[in-house]
């Protein structure tokens, strides 16, 4: 339940038992208080919330992941080793592939067999880029094995068929004694692969078929009839705040027989395991007026964070519809695509490549906090995208590789993976700029089975530090250590030929005394503090 009440300039926002009280800002310096109820455990934060998205687009696959066995860039079976090492460090749990819009034109057999015999194609979904099909099913599964992640396959609905999708899953997962398994063995992998998630279409309201919700519901039912035994099925996303789509899909496709009312047939097993959702951040709410990736103004900063914060409302309202049709909480939300999308730079080296700045780190931290505070429904998310595209983890330039500020945030937030969410009640002044007024602090907290407590905090204010006192209930904190990502400018960013200015550093001045932790959150920063008993 999402509740907002405002008296004067004071707002109270509640998500379950998580509460945020906003008070007027003072002229110089900000004081804030956080109360962490460690003795009130909530749902587990699914590690899959830290999932990634890889699409055949720009240099996301070719150069970003695949360089070929004969490349001078160090690789294992054609997959570049520096990228694998970086991704293993942040424990990527799941990767969505091959798209995106590309998936709706992808035919999996084009990516099988000797690479010199695979058909050459054109990526009509993204600027008619050449597609060699050198990176196909086997290469993708090899990549996942190298980084230690699970597979999320997005099957072709717009130009494919249930039969083609079923054949792909049979090929990948069939026993070695089956016909598909024998073909897989001839292509180099006798043992069946494991496929964790199967997405039934991508943006079916747009590039995935221009479908209505009613029509897609019937299409989904067809695919379920032949794919029901293969992995966890993810229904195609609503278009951001299209709540009618979610309502229609649940009404028409949740169960094997059409359901007329929300509470009918509750005891039956749903045939939707997860529902997708896509949402991108730019400066404001106009797709045609995105800000620059660098050299942007504070107005762009504020509008971008205001847009990012809408993720909370989207999840809350889609989840409220789910609550009516699925009060038992069996269906999860999968945020299949999220992240920042800035105006195209005419000097960009490849399609949808963008420079990654401190603003992207703040967007990542704010979004992950929102996901974690909705852990009862949000069970997977896939940032767009992993390498060289949009809000990437990694950027490459030939043989060179750098990690981005977003990568650093995912690194800092690792202790949350698989931990139990606990309430973090925040009281802090607003950050105001122009027509934008937002809470200056975003927080999420979790408790790990190993006996540690983790607090992640984002200071959205680009100008003022925040002095924080965190009172911890139900956890005898005796020690604390923190790391922070921040910089002098809003658009600080790493470069291939310079030292990374955004590498996380130790947060100084963290004091634990009498069950409370005090510290200062620098302006425009993302930080994580780990507490030990």
Domain at 379, CATH number: 3.20.20.80
- Predicted confidence at residue 257, as pLDDT, reads 65
Confirm whether pTM is higher than 0.95: no
Any catalytic annotation for residue 203?
A: yes
Residue written as tokens 């006996």? 451
Mean pLDDT in the chain? 92
Single out the catalytic residue among 203, 346, 376, 399.
Answer: 203
**Residue 484, domain member (yes or no):** no
Any catalytic annotation for residue 63?
A: no
**Residue 426, domain member (yes or no):** no
Assigned token pair, 420: 């139990």
**Contact (CB, 8 A) for 496 and 400:** yes
Domain of residue 366, residue span: 47-416
**Contact (CB, 8 A) for 392 and 484:** no
Integer Cα distance of 310 and 304 in angstroms = 10
- In this model, does residue 233 exceed pLDDT 60? yes
Integer Cα distance of 443 and 428 in angstroms = 11
> Percentage of the chain surpassing pLDDT 90?
87
- Predicted confidence at residue 258, as pLDDT, reads 57
**Contact (CB, 8 A) for 440 and 487:** no
Q: pLDDT-derived band of residue 8, with 50, 70 and 90 as boundaries?
A: very low
Average pLDDT over residues 41-66: 97
**Residue 192, domain member (yes or no):** yes
Candidates 400, 395, 392; CA nearest to 74 is 400
**Residue 481, domain member (yes or no):** no
Number of domain units in the chain: 1
- Total H helices, total E strands in the chain: 9, 29
Integer Cα distance of 347 and 360 in angstroms = 20
Candidates 141, 144, 148; CA nearest to 108 is 141
Sequence-distant (6+) residues with CB within 8 A of 358 are 405, 485, 486, 487, 489, 490, 491, 492, 493, 502, 524
Count of residues for the chain?
533
Integer Cα distance of 82 and 79 in angstroms = 9
**Residue 490, domain member (yes or no):** no
Average pLDDT over residues 184-191: 97
DSSP 227: H
**Residue 443, domain member (yes or no):** no
- Predicted confidence at residue 131, as pLDDT, reads 95
Q: Is 205 helix (H, G, I), strand (E, B) or coil?
A: coil
- Predicted confidence at residue 515, as pLDDT, reads 86
**Residue 526, domain member (yes or no):** no
Burial class (CB in 10 A: 0-12, 13-18, 19+), 371: buried
**Residue 458, domain member (yes or no):** no
Q: Render pLDDT for 404-435 as a digit per residue (tens, 0 to 9).
A: 999 999 999 999 999 999 999 999 999 999 99
- In this model, does residue 24 exceed pLDDT 90? no
Single out the catalytic residue among 337, 479, 530, 533.
Answer: 337
Assigned token pair, 299: 């107005």
């Amino acid at each position: 339940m999402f509740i907002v009440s405002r008296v004067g300039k004071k707002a109270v926002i509640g998500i379950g038992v998580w509460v945020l009280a906003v008070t007027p800002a003072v002229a110089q310096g900000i004081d804030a208080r956080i109360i962490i109820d460690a003795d009130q455990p909530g749902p587990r934060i699914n590690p899959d919330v830290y999932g990634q998205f890889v699409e055949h687009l720009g240099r996301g696959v070719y150069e970003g992941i695949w360089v070929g066995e004969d490349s001078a860039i160090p690789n294992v079976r054609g997959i570049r080793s520096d990228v694998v090492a970086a991704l293993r460090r942040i424990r990527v749990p799941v990767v969505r592939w091959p798209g995106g819009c590309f998936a709706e034109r992808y035919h999996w057999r084009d990516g099988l067999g000797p690479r010199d015999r695979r058909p050459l194609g054109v990526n009509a979904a993204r600027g008619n880029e050449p597609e060699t099909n050198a990176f196909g099913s086997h290469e993708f599964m090899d990549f996942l094995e190298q980084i230690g992640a699970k597979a999320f396959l997005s099957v072709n609905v717009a130009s494919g068929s249930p039969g083609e999708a079923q054949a792909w899953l049979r090929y990948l997962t069939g026993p070695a004694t089956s016909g598909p398994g024998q073909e897989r063995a001839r292509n180099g992998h006798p043992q069946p692969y494991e496929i964790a998630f199967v997405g039934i279409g991508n943006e079916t309201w747009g590039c995935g078929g221009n479908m209505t919700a009613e029509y897609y519901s019937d299409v989904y039912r067809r695919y379920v009839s032949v794919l029901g035994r293969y992995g966890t099925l993810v229904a195609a996303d609503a278009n951001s705040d299209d709540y009618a789509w979610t309502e229609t899909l649940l009404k028409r496709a949740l169960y094997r027989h059409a359901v007329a009312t929300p509470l009918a047939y509750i005891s039956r097993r749903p045939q939707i395991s997860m529902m997708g959702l896509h949402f991108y951040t730019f400066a404001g709410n106009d797709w045609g007026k995105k800000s620059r990736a660098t050299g942007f103004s504070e107005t762009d900063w504020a509008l971008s964070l205001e847009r990012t914060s809408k993720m909370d409302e989207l999840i809350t309202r889609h989840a409220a519809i789910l609550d009516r049709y699925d009060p038992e909480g069996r269906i999860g939300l999968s945020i299949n695509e999220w992240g920042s999308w800035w105006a195209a730079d005419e000097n960009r080296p490849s399609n949808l490549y963008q420079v990654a700045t401190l603003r992207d780190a703040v967007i990542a931290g704010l979004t992950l906090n929102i996901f974690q505070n909705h852990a009862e429904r949000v069970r997977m998310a896939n940032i767009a995208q992993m390498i060289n595209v949009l809000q990437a983890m990694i950027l490459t330039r030939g043989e060179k590789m750098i990690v981005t500020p977003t990568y650093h945030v995912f690194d800092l937030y690792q202790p949350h993976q698989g931990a139990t969410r606990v309430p973090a009640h925040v009281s802090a002044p607003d950050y105001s700029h122009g027509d934008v007024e937002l809470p200056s602090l975003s927080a999420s907290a979790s408790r790990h089975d190993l006996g540690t407590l983790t607090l992640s905090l984002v200071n959205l204010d680009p100008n003022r530090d925040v002095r924080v006192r965190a009172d911890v209930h139900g956890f005898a904190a005796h020690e604390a250590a923190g790391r922070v990502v921040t910089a002098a400018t809003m658009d600080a960013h790493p470069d291939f030929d310079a030292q990374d200015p955004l590498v996380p550093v130790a947060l100084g001045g963290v004091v634990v005394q009498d069950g409370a932790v005090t510290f200062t959150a620098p302006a425009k920063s993302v930080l994580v503090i780990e507490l030990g008993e």
